[in-house]
Amino acid sequence: VAWIADAVVFAIMTWVLTLSAWTAATPGSATILLQLAAWPWLTGLTYYFVLEGCWSASLGKRLMGLRVTSRASTGWWPRIGLRSAVFHMPLVIPAILLVAATKGSTAPSVVYTANAAPNGWTWNAPPDALLTLLLTILMFSTARRRNGWTGVHELLSGTRVVQRNVLPSATSAAP
């Protein structure tokens, strides 16, 4: 649920930045693809890096009473940087491939065709979306009950999301 709250916030941020890049870009420019492909992961990376680095929680985590922690006493910023970078790899890799696929083109476009299956069903999803989905699944392939549902980004950075310490209320104390 925390991720959904965060996704809404940085979706709005991404929309505003993408709209500004789109209006400022020269029509037919090859750089517009790079600008548009960069905003989703760059916005998310910055959002998590700043909020989790400064306050140990994004807005969604704070709303749900969660925070990011590490057992190591040093290297907080590099850990958060690595955590954020690895977490956003499912968005970065397809963006890089998309830009590389159109290198040298003056009017970039990625064309895909979905051929109808013999039974009439058609799968009509862009290849970059399928790659993002696959990479996201791989990101959480390490999550097991025995390791506390730890994702690849947490294993590599040595961080964990935990319940924020909450003081017991006076009404719950026994007389």
Higher pLDDT, 69 or 120: 69
> According to the model, what pLDDT value does residue 61 have?
95
Q: What is the pLDDT of residues 7-54, one digit of tens each?
A: 899 889 888 877 777 676 666 665 665 666 667 778 888 999 999 999
CA dist 117 and 106 (Å) reads 34
User: End-to-end CA distance of the chain, in Å?
Assistant: 36
Residue 34, CB-side half-sphere exposure with 13 Å CA sphere: 10
- Single pTM value for the model: 0.75
More confident residue, 174 or 28: 28
What six digits make up the tokens of 93? 């890799």
pLDDT score of 3 more than 90: no
Q: Are 143 and 151 in contact (CB under 8 A)?
A: yes
pLDDT, residue 170, reads 54
Residue range 59-114, pLDDT digits in tens: 999 999 999 999 888 899 999 999 999 999 998 888 788 777 766 554 444 444 44
pLDDT at 1 over 80: yes
